[in-house]
């Protein structure tokens, strides 16, 4: 479990550095958070603009109603109209590329359209100015509630408002018209409103960011566990196991199984260090894994220095025998290339058999997808009774390959538990095809 209270980026880097394959690196995750925050910001800015428009209409209606003089009605209408038009412009910009690129400017514009624009209008119309802290408080609390992101932007909007007011006050009201206690009281209300708004936004976004990275870390961890599961089980079987955690077993009427054994590897282990031995085996089996993926073959397991795979399951296919034959021929070429590049002299003995199998997952721990049946046993015997450097196939496989591949009859061999069996050696692909 990822601890959201520790360093988010460090944890994600650690997950990625441990070999996790995922679409996003830590830097991309950071970008994703910024994109998510920007999308959130734009949606909330539109919502705030709508609220300001509705609130403005109610205030304009109220002032038009309470002002008995025509001049007062005109002033109220002018001030309200300026704010409404400015707000409408900001709302429209939110839906344009400019708004998507510069949402911070729209945030400040929305704030100052209510706080600064009103002060400027009053100063110009009445040549006088008094604090409108109730309007400022309402605006800042609204923004902190609706748009609780980027605390520094809230701080800039507040500082801009007070700077605008002080500048206008010096220009239009150099003499205090109210007792100093009045201004101190207004200043204290304004100060604590700003502090509470900025601090609450800071705490909210900090929590939101931690939750975002914790969620992404959990997604990465889940993806890693799924990738590990898919390295053990076929994708279809893994999905079945997640949905129904019970014994999984299926009958397949015809598949082709391959066993490959590295000749001489056991002798090599007696005079080679364990680390070097495992490295060699891992390199070879990784080559086989790539071939299995290329030919649509399902790797089943490795047993020591033996490699087992099957074609025709869990997704049934009619070309299972050619797929295994092509893979077997490529395995021979891969070993030859490996020997040349690593100064080795390995050869592989391959056995192939075609027929019905039972496939499934059993047990409670260390799940493994495995095969059972005579087809598996015969493929194993084809390998163990085969010739080093050759690909031996049974009669059933021969019948499926004989028209498109070159096969040489080896003859009858004694197979444990089966008696005498006719076998063939796969040489290559027929030139007629």
Q: What is the pLDDT of residues 286-306, one digit of tens each?
A: 999 999 999 999 998 888 889
Residue predicted with more confidence, 248 or 386: 386
Q: Is the dihedral of CA 10, 16, 17, 18 positive or negative?
A: positive
Identify whether the C-beta of residue 353 lies closer than 8 Å to the C-beta of residue 267: no
| Burial tier of 70 (Cβ tally within 10 Å: 0-12, 13-18, 19+) | exposed
Instruction: Tell whether omega for the bond before 314 is within 30 degrees of 0, i.e. cis.
Output: yes
Q: Is the dihedral of CA 86, 87, 88, 92 positive or negative?
A: positive
Identify whether the C-beta of residue 21 lies closer than 8 Å to the C-beta of residue 222: no
Please report how the helices 133-146 and 180-232 are oriented relative to each other, as an axis angle in degrees rounded to 10: 10
Q: Residue 24's pLDDT is what? A: 44
Identify whether the C-beta of residue 234 lies closer than 8 Å to the C-beta of residue 255: no
pLDDT category at 93 given cuts 50, 70, 90 is confident
Domain identity same for 123 and 270: no
Q: Does residue 417 sit within a domain? A: yes
Domain identity same for 193 and 70: yes
DSSP 100-155: HH-HHHHHHHHHHHHHHHHHHHHHHHHS-----HHHHHHHHHHHHHH----HHHHH
DSSP 387: -
Q: Residue 154's pLDDT is what? A: 93
Q: Which residues contact 123 (CB under 8 A, 6 or more apart)?
A: 129, 168, 171, 172
In angstroms, the CA 148 to CA 210 distance is: 15
Q: Residue 322's pLDDT is what? A: 94
DSSP 302: E
| pLDDT of 114 above 90 | no
328 strand-pairing partners: none
| pLDDT of 269 above 90 | no
| pLDDT of 207 above 80 | yes
Domain identity same for 334 and 374: yes
pLDDT category at 174 given cuts 50, 70, 90 is low
Q: How many domains does the chain have?
A: 2
In angstroms, the CA 152 to CA 157 distance is: 9
CATH code assigned at 326: 3.30.70.1230
| pLDDT of 7 above 50 | no
Range of the domain at 57: 8-224
Q: Are strands 347-361 and 391-394 parallel, antiparallel or unpaired?
A: parallel
Q: Which residues contact 148 (CB under 8 A, 6 or more apart)?
A: 200, 201, 204, 205, 208
Domain identity same for 175 and 30: yes
Q: Residue 9's pLDDT is what? A: 46
> What's the whole-number mean pLDDT along residues 129-144?
83
SS3 370: strand
Domain identity same for 277 and 151: no
Q: Residue 96's pLDDT is what? A: 86
Q: Does residue 362 sit within a domain? A: yes
Calculate Rg over the CA atoms of the chain: 38
In angstroms, the CA 13 to CA 28 distance is: 11
Q: Does residue 2 sit within a domain? A: no
Q: Does residue 138 sit within a domain? A: yes
> What's the whole-number mean pLDDT along residues 138-156?
91
Domain identity same for 15 and 85: yes
Q: Which of 224, 244, 270 is the last residue of a domain?
A: 224
Q: Which of 202, 224, 246 is the last residue of a domain?
A: 224
């Amino acid at each position: 479990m990822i601890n959201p209270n520790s360093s988010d980026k460090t944890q994600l880097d650690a997950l990625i550095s441990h070999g996790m394959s995922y679409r996003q690196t830590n830097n991309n995750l950071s970008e994703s958070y910024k994109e998510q925050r920007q999308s959130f910001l734009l949606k909330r800015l539109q919502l705030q603009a709508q609220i300001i428009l509705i609130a403005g209409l109610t205030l304009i209606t109220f002032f038009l109603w309470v002002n008995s003089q025509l001049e007062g009605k005109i002033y109220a209408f002018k001030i309200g109209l300026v704010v409404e038009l400015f707000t409408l412009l900001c709302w429209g910009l939110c839906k344009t590329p400019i708004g998507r690129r510069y949402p911070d400017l729209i945030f400040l514009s929305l704030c100052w359209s209510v706080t600064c624009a009103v002060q400027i209008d009053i100063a110009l119309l009445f040549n006088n100015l008094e604090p409108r802290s109730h309007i400022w408080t309402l605006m800042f609390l609204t923004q902190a509630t609706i748009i609780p992101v980027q605390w520094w932007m809230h701080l800039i909007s507040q500082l801009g408002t007070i700077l605008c007011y002080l500048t206008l006050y010096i220009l239009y009201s150099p003499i205090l018209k109210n007792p100093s206690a009045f201004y101190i009281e207004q200043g204290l209300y304004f100060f604590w409103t700003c502090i509470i708004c900025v601090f609450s936004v800071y705490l909210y976004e900090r929590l939101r960011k931690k939750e975002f990275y914790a969620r992404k870390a959990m997604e990465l961890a889940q993806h890693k566990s799924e990738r590990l599961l898919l390295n053990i089980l076929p994708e279809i079987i893994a999905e079945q196991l997640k949905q129904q955690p019970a014994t999984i077993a299926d009958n397949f009427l015809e598949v082709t199984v391959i066993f490959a054994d590295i000749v001489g590897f056991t002798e090599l282990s007696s005079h080679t260090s364990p680390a070097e031995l495992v490295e060699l085996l891992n390199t070879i089996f990784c080559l086989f894994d790539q071939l299995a993926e290329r030919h649509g073959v399902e790797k089943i397991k490795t047993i020591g220095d033996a490699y087992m795979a099957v074609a025709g399951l869990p997704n049934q296919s009619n070309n299972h025998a050619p797929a295994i034959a092509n893979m077997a021929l490529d395995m021979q070429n891969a070993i030859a290339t490996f020997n040349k590049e690593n100064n080795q002299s390995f050869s592989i003995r391959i056995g192939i058999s075609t027929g019905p199998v039972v496939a499934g997952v059993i047990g409670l721990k260390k799940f493994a997808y495995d095969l059972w049946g005579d087809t598996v046993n015969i493929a194993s015997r084809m390998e163990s009774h085969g010739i080093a450097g050759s690909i031996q196939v049974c009669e059933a496989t021969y019948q499926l390959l004989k028209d498109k591949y070159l096969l040489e009859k080896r003859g009858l061999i004694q197979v444990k538990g089966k008696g005498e069996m006719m076998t063939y050696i796969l040489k290559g692909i027929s030139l007629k095809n």
